[in-house]
Chains A and B, each alone.
Chain A
Amino acid sequence: MTSILAYTFKNLPSTSKWALTFCVRPLSCSSQLRASAAVQTKSKKTLAKPNLRNIVVVDGVRIPFLLSGTSYKDLMPHDLARAALLGLLHRTNVPKEVVDYITFGTVIQEVKTSNVAREAALGAGFSDKTPAHTVTMACISSNQAMTTAVGLIASGQFDVVVAGGVELMSDVPIRHSRKMRKMMLDLNKAKTLGQRLSLLSKFRLNFLSPELPAVAEFSTSETMGHSADRLAAAFAVSRQEQDEYALRSHSMAKKAQDEGLLSDIVPFKVPGRDTVSKDNGIRPSSMEQMAKLKPAFIKPYGTVTAANSSFLTDGASAMLIMSEDKALAMGYKPKAYLRDFVYVSQDPKDQLLLGPTYATPKVLEKAGLTMSDIDVFEFHEAFSGQILATFKAMDSDWFAQNYMGRKTKVGSPPLEKFNTWGGSLSLGHPFGATGCRLVITAANRLRKEGGQYALVAACAAGGQGHGMIVETYPK
């Protein structure tokens, strides 16, 4: 899971928003490469492969991502997923009966709706003949939903699949203790009054202490924020660099929001509340304000704070994925192709959040591309420190040789192509829903900026990671 922070940006008094929008400071890690990219010709015209179906994204949407405990707090996860599905139906006008299959990603499951994909689909008015399943892979759950869809279509099983993701952090399943649960289950089975009384006599007050969902990596018992702080230290990423990057993310997101670039958002009329139409976590602050925050995990000298971490978020996203033939036959103008993808995993203790470092060279190699072929980078930002450490790792021959078994480094992405419409730090990070946001943002950015290839990458708990190439659909 990403950082479960005790407090979020609410504590950051936001100063003049306008002034800050344009004063993004140059980052120390942002090296070069500005000039060369535009003139270069692509090493490959397209990534289409013979004898393989082309798979396209027709469109994708998300409901606004909100800080947990705000407007969505009284809803259930399937309500959010339903809103995203309805938004997708509205946006694409796809006839419900055409959808062959639905798959959703989620991380912290609401026990009542453990197959949240099915509950949401039924509630959104999809045919009860359309099957649905839910997948989980920590922060890359909806990436898994999308690639599942790709697999189903590529193998010729289906033509039209809806993939999405949802997370509601405003409510988490807090359980009775194991001892209490055991007693309650035994009580159920007890037949006589005597048996019941003897069971009850074993009750102790500490049975009542609740069991909170684990905020830590199961294998190492380390919280993610703690690991991120160590990662930042291992790569010697300073607090200042991290705060600067966080500020950049918020400023970029604010700019994109103001310019109306975040067109994947569909408004959501929350029952009993006003219609929500904007992300509410974007709060550009100032370096001075951010510097005042105390470290959130490694106290008192750590560098990861509430301001340079992604915050607890509620949200949902959904995407219509089809075979190219089907989309064209139905008269759609698709947005992008979904191309090669990889999943990677590594040491969950010391390299928990380095997934993108491993995924990037691997997926590029697979697709036969180089870093310079990529016009748009959309990376998941769990922590400023994590992103900057990832850059440093990608830019280190030593790391490539000693830990990745590669001869040379892949190089770090040029910052002017990187998350230019904000990222998880500013837009928010509903664990299960972020993957679809990354892909649809990448597709939208390619169209807007006229690029051809985008690289989407994300890290996830368990030391896992994902990378995917998105190719824009020719106009």
Chain B
Amino acid sequence: MVASRAIGSLSRFSAFRILRSRGYICRNFTGSSALLTRTHLNYGIKGDVAVVRFNSPNSKVNTLNKEIQSEFMEIMNEIWANDQIRSAVLISSKPGCFVAGADINMLAACKTSQEATRISQEAQRMFEKLETSTKPIVAAIHGSCLGGGLELAISCQYRIATKDRKTVLGVPEVLLGILPGAGGTQRLPRMLGIPAAFDVMLTGRNIRADRAKKMGLVDQLVEPLGPGVKPPEERTIEYLEEVAVTFAKGLADKKITPVRNKGLVEKLTSYAMSIPFVRQQVYKKVEEKVRKQTKGLYPAPLKIIDVIQTGLECMASAGTSVQSQKFGELAMTKESKALMGLYHGQVLCKKNKFGAPQKEVKQLAILGAGLMGAGIAQVSVDKGLKTLLKDVSLAGLGRGQQQVFKGLNDKVKKKAITSFERDSLFSNLTGQLDYQDFEKSDMVIEAVFEDLSIKHKVLKEVEAVIPDHCIFASNTSALPIKEIAAVSKRPEKVIGMHYFSPVDKMQLLEIITTEKTSQDTTASVVTVGLKQGKVLIVVKDGPGFYTTRCLAPMMSEVIRILQEGVDPKKLDSLTTGFGFPVGAATLADEVGVDVAQHVAEDLGKAFGERFGGGNVELLKQMVARGFLGRKSGKGFYIYQEGSKNKNLNSDMDSIFASLKLPAKPEVSSDEDIQYRVVTRFVNEAVMCLQEGILATPEEGDIGAVFGLGFPPCLGGPFRFVDLYGAQKVVDRLRKYEAVYGKQFTPCQLLLDHANSPSKKFYQ
């Protein structure tokens, strides 16, 4: 039973999750100022309690770097030496952040694994001193307490956290391809029990304060306060400190014991875990599960299991030394470089580079209550944006409204919001069949059918009713915005907003600007996109923009591979085996075969032979027979309501047979198939940068990973070229070019990189 709990807790683990940035930048302060003046910390004494406050200057967050560590130890030594002080409280003066973790730049700057190991060892030594402190130390947590921050907190004798939405605890190291290197792998299993510790460390998920209290990660909760005679958050932090001081006194006076009463289930679990045989089974099961999910592409989770196991089965000292050694090794892996790169890219893509718009968007109108339209509505009302949702039929509108409601209600079920908040948010949505109130809207997003003439008709209708300042954004995946804007009276207000389905789950938003789009229009759209919680890339207009353009040659290759007789299941396993979250054939089914056909034809016309390879006829025949993918129940696979297992669609055999191509044995090994798919993607992405569609490689990587599911462990096409080697990519392309021709011809920028090995997309 216990083993199954441990496994169950892993069901949320996904190899393809990426650390979501909370919009912080982790700056590095090394070399900023002298060590003697304390820049990051200060402390005061309240009675016999020392209150140590973290407050790094010029930053929204506190991160653990060398400087802060030495200041901290200095202060702690003073506290331990001072007889007047009997206990201590650690708290942050920053609203919304306790300690957000170790400084990522400090890790990124490490040249060797020994260097990284040393960082881990230093932190371990510091936290061991805290843990063995005879004067009780209370961590008072408000805001993010992540990674090294949490490891700091769990080395204290007692933890108090505010029950605020901003307060999240977690060890997200695994999402950066490393492991909690400052004692987390050793202390968490002892604190939380083995199953919960595995869950926390392998998923890297954020834990809200109330959940943390239930798990035993924190000992007390403090309710956030409303306004008093000061701003609420300021007073909340003050109150947290007051409460923490009383608890620190209580601990010093031995009136409070830090021991927690465990529940029955917890007691049973910990009893079961005391049996070596059960433990072995758990390790085995967890490892199996992780291997299955990561397909061996991510080394960090396996090392975490290893380190936890060593810590529990051998001497504690062995655990800590293995921990720092593995930490060093992981920090040097390509995977961790790729994942950290994505993290940085994401931080970058969550910033508004275009400044504040002249007029804030207060009312948004959405045309079309289909899957996309309703999805956009959901992420908008969710953030309190007043939204009109217009459709042409009551049935279509009703479906869309229900989708929005369901999205919000799912949040209630997950206890992210209350049912009352749901109702209040849902009241931001107005469903309608006419253009009422459009004259008061600041932005219109159309999500109607992907057909240029329909888009033109809608644009003209809308321009007749909207005010002059109102922006018209088109949600299209391939139609050039320039062509849509051709019929507009004010093309400077026309822009593209390419959302990805499902809108509430997919983080990416691709914004497409034409030559005529004004800067203010872009600024306004970026502001709205950020408000909707999206990661943004801003690209130039062109057929397929960036994302669709990269996807098209890849899908073309996928069709050729299928025509060559590889069955969809095999192809799926090859692509997921390379790190794609969804197999290539399944992806086509999910996107919709008709959509894929549209895109393939449009872009085929625009780019000619380079986008050839597979025969579009295959898609045409599928559409003709109604195999549209998941939405019609049949595509490459057969989809049944309620059943997760999908079987191959045997009716496809005749289509495959009629379009069969001879396989070329010299480029049809499993590895070659994988690289044929990936290199075409990568080559096209680099070409987008070459042509100026993309402004930066960061945006290219973020777009590919967050929008198209490019393997996160490779960090995106540009990071992949850097880490894998441009020459090697070119060699691959040349090999396939020899067999298939032009479709694989490497682009100039890629050749440039191959020719001068010092050239990198990321310096």
Q: Which residues of A contact B (CB under 8 A)?
A: 218-221, 226, 229-231, 233-236, 298, 301, 347, 349-351, 389, 392-393, 396, 398-399, 402-403
Taking the closest CB of chain B, its distance from the CB of A237, in whole angstroms, is: 9
Task: List, in ascending order, chain A residues with CB within 8 A of B220's CB.
Answer: 301
CB-based contact B418/A350 at 8 Å: no
CB-based contact A218/B420 at 8 Å: yes
CB-based contact A233/B239 at 8 Å: yes
Q: Pick 18 A–B contacts, CB within 8 A, sort by A.
A: A221-B420, A233-B223, A233-B225, A233-B228, A233-B235, A234-B226, A234-B227, A236-B228, A236-B235, A347-B226, A349-B226, A350-B225, A350-B226, A350-B227, A389-B228, A392-B229, A393-B228, A393-B229
Task: List, in ascending order, chain A residues with CB within 8 A of B225's CB.
Answer: 230, 233-234, 350
CB-based contact B229/A235 at 8 Å: yes
Taking the closest CB of chain B, its distance from the CB of A90, in whole angstroms, is: 46
Taking the closest CB of chain A, its distance from the CB of B240, in whole angstroms, is: 10
| CB nearest neighbor in A for B225 | A234
Nearest first, the 6 A-B pairs at minimum CB distance are A350-B226, A234-B228, A234-B225, A235-B228, A396-B229, A219-B420
Task: List, in ascending order, chain B residues with CB within 8 A of A392's CB.
Answer: 228-229
Complex Cα distance, B228 from A389, in Å, reads 8
| CB nearest neighbor in A for B223 | A230
Complex Cα distance, B226 from A230, in Å, reads 7
Task: List, in ascending order, chain B residues with CB within 8 A of A236's CB.
Answer: 228-229, 235
CB-based contact B226/A398 at 8 Å: no
Complex Cα distance, B226 from A94, in Å, reads 49
Task: List, in ascending order, chain B residues with CB within 8 A of A402's CB.
Answer: 227, 231
Task: Confirm or deny: B230 has a beta carbon within 8 angstroms of a beta carbon on chain A.
Answer: yes
Task: Confirm or deny: B519 has a beta carbon within 8 angstroms of a beta carbon on chain A.
Answer: no
Task: List, in ascending order, chain B residues with CB within 8 A of A349's CB.
Answer: 226
CB-based contact B420/A220 at 8 Å: yes
CB-based contact A350/B229 at 8 Å: no
| CB nearest neighbor in B for A403 | B227
Task: Confirm or deny: B352 has a beta carbon within 8 angstroms of a beta carbon on chain A.
Answer: no
CB-based contact B226/A351 at 8 Å: yes
Task: Confirm or deny: B232 has a beta carbon within 8 angstroms of a beta carbon on chain A.
Answer: yes
Q: How many residues of B contact A (CB 8 A)?
A: 17
Besides A226-B223, A229-B223, 5 other A-B contacts (C-beta < 8 A): A233-B239, A234-B226, A351-B227, A393-B229, A396-B229
Task: Confirm or deny: B591 has a beta carbon within 8 angstroms of a beta carbon on chain A.
Answer: no
Complex Cα distance, B220 from A234, in Å, reads 18
Complex Cα distance, B292 from A176, in Å, reads 48
Task: List, in ascending order, chain B residues with CB within 8 A of A398's CB.
Answer: 229-230
CB-based contact B232/A234 at 8 Å: yes
CB-based contact B223/A350 at 8 Å: no
Bitwise, B212-227 to A at CB < 8 A (1) or not (0) is 0000000010010111
CB-based contact B229/A399 at 8 Å: yes
Task: List, in ascending order, chain A residues with CB within 8 A of B239's CB.
Answer: 233-234
Task: Confirm or deny: B243 has a beta carbon within 8 angstroms of a beta carbon on chain A.
Answer: yes
Taking the closest CB of chain A, its distance from the CB of B510, in whole angstroms, is: 38
Complex Cα distance, B228 from A230, in Å, reads 10
Task: Confirm or deny: B246 has a beta carbon within 8 angstroms of a beta carbon on chain A.
Answer: yes
B residues 195-249 near A (Cβ < 8 Å) are 220, 223, 225-232, 235, 239, 243, 246-247
Complex Cα distance, B225 from A399, in Å, reads 14
Task: List, in ascending order, chain B residues with CB within 8 A of A229's CB.
Answer: 223
CB-based contact B418/A231 at 8 Å: no
CB-based contact B229/A298 at 8 Å: no
Complex Cα distance, B239 from A230, in Å, reads 10
Task: List, in ascending order, chain B residues with CB within 8 A of A389's CB.
Answer: 228
CB-based contact B420/A231 at 8 Å: no
| CB nearest neighbor in B for A218 | B420
| CB nearest neighbor in B for A301 | B243
Task: List, in ascending order, chain A residues with CB within 8 A of B420's CB.
Answer: 218-221
Task: List, in ascending order, chain A residues with CB within 8 A of B229's CB.
Answer: 235-236, 392-393, 396, 398-399
Task: List, in ascending order, chain A residues with CB within 8 A of B232's CB.
Answer: 234, 350
Taking the closest CB of chain A, its distance from the CB of B89, in whole angstroms, is: 14
| CB nearest neighbor in B for A222 | B223
Taking the closest CB of chain B, its distance from the CB of A178, in whole angstroms, is: 14
Taking the closest CB of chain B, its distance from the CB of A238, in whole angstroms, is: 10
Complex Cα distance, B226 from A351, in Å, reads 7
CB-based contact A220/B227 at 8 Å: no
Most buried by B among A234, A236, A399: A234
Taking the closest CB of chain A, its distance from the CB of B656, in whole angstroms, is: 50
Taking the closest CB of chain A, its distance from the CB of B220, in whole angstroms, is: 8
Complex Cα distance, B194 from A2, in Å, reads 44
Task: List, in ascending order, chain A residues with CB within 8 A of B246's CB.
Answer: 301
Complex Cα distance, B228 from A75, in Å, reads 42
Taking the closest CB of chain B, its distance from the CB of A70, in whole angstroms, is: 34
| CB nearest neighbor in A for B238 | A236
Complex Cα distance, B247 from A396, in Å, reads 30
Complex Cα distance, B246 from A298, in Å, reads 15
Complex Cα distance, B223 from A229, in Å, reads 10
Task: List, in ascending order, chain B residues with CB within 8 A of A351's CB.
Answer: 226-227
Complex Cα distance, B418 from A402, in Å, reads 27
Complex Cα distance, B228 from A236, in Å, reads 8
Taking the closest CB of chain A, its distance from the CB of B333, in whole angstroms, is: 46
Complex Cα distance, B225 from A236, in Å, reads 11
Complex Cα distance, B418 from A236, in Å, reads 28
Most buried by A among B229, B232, B420: B229
Task: List, in ascending order, chain B residues with CB within 8 A of A219's CB.
Answer: 418, 420
Complex Cα distance, B223 from A221, in Å, reads 14
Complex Cα distance, B230 from A236, in Å, reads 10
Task: List, in ascending order, chain B residues with CB within 8 A of A234's CB.
Answer: 225-228, 232, 235, 239
Task: List, in ascending order, chain A residues with CB within 8 A of B226's CB.
Answer: 230-231, 234, 347, 349-351
Taking the closest CB of chain B, its distance from the CB of A415, in whole angstroms, is: 19
Taking the closest CB of chain B, its distance from the CB of A185, in whole angstroms, is: 23
Taking the closest CB of chain A, its distance from the CB of B106, in whole angstroms, is: 37
CB-based contact B223/A298 at 8 Å: yes
